[in-house]
Amino acid sequence: MEKQVGVGMGVIIWKDGKILLGKRKGSHAAGSYAIPGGSMEYGEDFHDTAAREVMEETGMTLVGPVVNIGFTNDKFLDEGKHFVGLFVRATGFVGEPQNMEPHKCEGWGWYDPKELPQPLFPPMQAAINLWPEILEAPVNA
C-alpha cells in the first residue's frame, strides 16, 4: 500500500492568558503535551476541522473566528506517519474542557505559555520554533 501524507490540525485556544493542553496517550508521541487537534476530513474547511476536533476532544464549542497561524511538516517515519500540520488560533469558545477521549488523553489543563509542561508534542514544538509569537496572548484572550 502506498504511504500517504495526512493533514493534521492543531488549535491553540486561549483563556485568561493561558493555552489549553492535554497529555497524549495511546498514540504517537504518547506522554507529550499537545493542543486539541486531529486529522482533517475530506471536504472540510479549516474552521470546520478545528471546531469538530475541539468538540470531539474537549466538549467545547468554538465561536468566533479561527485565525490561521501556519503549517509544519511533521514526520513520524518510524511509525509510518507523515502529516502536514495546520495551526490555528481560537479565543472564542463556550464550555469548559472535559476529557471526551480518555483513551487518547490523560486530561486537559490551562497553561502559562512561559511555563509549558514538557515534553511538547513534536509538531507543537516545531510550530513554536517557527513562530515564537504564537505564545503571545492575543489582545482578547
Residues 89-110 have pLDDT tens digits of 998 999 999 999 999 999 999 9
Instruction: Please indicate, yes or no, if residue 1 is contained in any of the structural domains.
Output: no
Q: Which domain, by its residues, includes 108?
A: 6-132
Residue 40 grid cell: 482533517
Q: Which helix (H) or strand (E) holds 54?
A: helix 46-58
pLDDT grade, residue 43 (50/70/90)?
A: very high
**pLDDT of 6 above 70:** yes
Instruction: Please indicate, yes or no, if residue 81 is contained in any of the structural domains.
Output: yes
**CATH number for 83:** 3.90.79.10
Instruction: Please indicate, yes or no, if residue 141 is contained in any of the structural domains.
Output: no
Instruction: Please indicate, yes or no, if residue 111 is contained in any of the structural domains.
Output: yes
Q: For the whole model, what pTM was predicted?
A: 0.94
More confident residue, 33 or 77: 33
Return the amino acid letter for 69: I
Instruction: Please indicate, yes or no, if residue 10 is contained in any of the structural domains.
Output: yes
pLDDT of residue 110: 98
The total of structural domains in the chain comes to: 1
Instruction: Please indicate, yes or no, if residue 139 is contained in any of the structural domains.
Output: no
Instruction: Please indicate, yes or no, if residue 137 is contained in any of the structural domains.
Output: no
Instruction: Please indicate, yes or no, if residue 138 is contained in any of the structural domains.
Output: no
Angle at 87 between CA 81 and CA 131, to 5 degrees: 110
Q: From start to end of the chain, where are the E strands?
A: 6-15, 18-24, 33-34, 37-39, 61-62, 66-76, 81-90, 93-94, 105-111
